[in-house]
Structure 1
Amino acid sequence: MVKSGVLGQLPAVVTIEKIVEEYHKLLDNQAEDKQHNAQLDGAMTSTVMTPMEVEKRKLAANAFKDYINTCLRSHLLYSEEYDQYDKHEQKIVGPSNALEVEYEEFSKQELAENAEKDKLARKVREQATGIKEDKTPKKQKQLKRFIAKKKYEPAKYYGFSHLLRLVCNFHTLLLTAKYEQGPQQIILSGIRPFVDYLTENWPKFHKKSTTG
């Protein structure tokens, strides 16, 4: 359909960001329900979804959204869709967006807090993957923000059909992306549940809205 000039409507009826948000809510509800049922039975069982498992599945879903936001145009769009993407981006962020930036330095307290967060995150990754990571402190940049005030995030506007393109290629794209080994393994372990969720709910997400 794209090759014949029929393009998806922007924004989509159900956006990628909305799909991920609903998945997050489902995970939270499932975890709460399972814990409640297990407590009624008098003991926690292996069917209870642990907080770490919930987080792994959320990270995997977020990875899909993040990839859409950073690489949709370069990796997933057909050439016939470039003009629509560029016009919509300009409509959202404006033509002078690249010149509008913010700059602020981290305070000493923020640097210390970030170091502690990195330490805890490393511990979670090591527990999840069994892989010990280099504990050498990384030099933190003083730059806190140097980003466009308005940033175009395609996941807020594109829908299921474009997410499906990514699903078909995500495993290969992830393996070739510049992820550290620990985070990569965590994301890989959470992909299947998210894909299963999309498979079960695709009629709800695949709302046909086209232009052309």
Structure 2
Amino acid sequence: MKNLTASEIERLKGYNPTRYQTYLIKMNINGNMLYLTDRDAPVFYGGVYYQPGYITSDSIDDIEVTSEPATNEFNTTLDARDGAFIPYFLNKGWNNSEVTVYEQHADELGVIVTLNVFEGFIDSRDIFKETRKIDAVLASVWADFEKQAGTKTNSGSHQKYYPDDTAFEHVARAKRKIYWGKNAPVASSSGSSSGSGRFDLPRITQQV
């Protein structure tokens, strides 16, 4: 629950032609931090700048915010014309990368409130070379398992066989395919990427 002042509540109420909403997306891919915003200029929040040009308000599905834990997911489209951005989604370990989405409300006086509207992980992604787009499915951290015969449906039983595999701390859907004890396959893609974007080339983490 956000505690707002009377002034902030008044700024959120009714018609205000200067009020606007901004999305901020934070991704942690193999220890590489990406900060994206749908604004047309960098946004400073939480000690870092969120960079424009990779997402738009139209490229983010509506996020359903509920008071109860829910198993939900939504799609977002990332602009991958910046060549340095693509390798983050080509190297091993992109799946199950942590994602946080903030919704910021502001007006001509400045930021009114910033809400944490989603916490989850990258569940799947498709890279489209022709349009230089990446479609990513983001799934919530809330698990809603249905017991399935012959499977290990909790972290304790699963880690008896694969001690270092923490999939059940992240998986959001019981019937989603889980790659037991190994990395999920990386979708095939050819060609090289280069560019002088806002993000450094990712650090490659060797996984065994």
TM > 0.5 fold call:
no
More strand by share: 2
Higher CA-based Rg: 1
More helix by share: 1
User: Normalising to structure 1: TM-score of the pair?
Assistant: 0.23
Structure of greater relative contact order (alpha carbons < 8 Å, 6+ residues apart): 1
